[in-house]
Chain A
């Protein structure tokens, strides 16, 4: 593994189903992030984690949950998917997060294209 990987690459999901998007980094970064990107809008932060064992809510957290059991993995779960969650989801990581008093450069995974029907 080099950098950040995400799985799956794309997924079509029926509304109401549960789905977990996976994200793994091998850079030993402390901070990790989940964004969604929709046409005409900027990247919007869903959840973040400044260090293993802690998580925080971003701008659009409703309908999503995350966990950070270790440094490398940061899965994003949609408990009951709805069509408005159709989007491209990017995971990112940085050496330090907001708890360090500054934000380092964020490095992004390749993204997961999710369609909820």
Chain B
């Protein structure tokens, strides 16, 4: 079967750094996406990784290790507006997205 695992909830402090992990077991791999979803809103695209390594985009970075079936999203200089759910999705061999249940990130002042 296909499986995407993420922690259900994480708490961090404003100004700090947080790492959200995602492990996957899918039938094939053609890339991994991270999306942000604020409560009651639509998911919005954050990052895409297809090769191993770190992709940096401002305060957000995403890392991929295909051999380990592992990715993480790193958020630096946390702001209150970063309180949201972060969704990991893997593109399988049929180029369909398989989604994790999401990690709810709570930022405390």
Contacts and interface: CB of A to CB of B under 8 A. Distances in A.
A53 interface: no
A42 B35 CA distance: 12
Interface string B37-50: 00001111100100
Interface residues of A, number: 23
Contact of A103 (B42, B43, B96, B99): B96
B64 interface: no
B30 interface: yes
B87 A42 contact: yes
Interface in B56-109: 87, 89, 91, 94-102
B42 A108 contact: yes
Contacts of A35: 99
B48 A105 contact: yes
B42 A98 contact: no
- The listed residue with most A CB atoms (<10 A of its CB), out of B42, B44, B89, is B42
B48 A43 contact: no
Interface size class, chain B: 20 to 34
B20 interface: no
Contacts of B48: 105
Given A97-B95, A103-B91, A103-B96, A41 B45 contact: no
Interface string A77-117: 00000000000001000000110111101111111000000
Contacts of A44: 99
A105 B4 CA distance: 19
A90 B42 contact: yes
Contacts of B101: 40-42
A109 to B, nearest CB: 6
Interface of B: 4, 30-31, 33, 41-45, 48, 87, 89, 91, 94-102
Given A97-B95, A98-B94, A108-B44, 5 more contacts: A41-B101, A42-B4, A42-B89, A48-B96, A103-B97
16 contacts: A35-B99, A40-B101, A42-B87, A42-B100, A42-B102, A43-B43, A43-B87, A48-B96, A98-B95, A98-B96, A100-B95, A103-B91, A103-B95, A109-B42, A111-B41, A111-B42
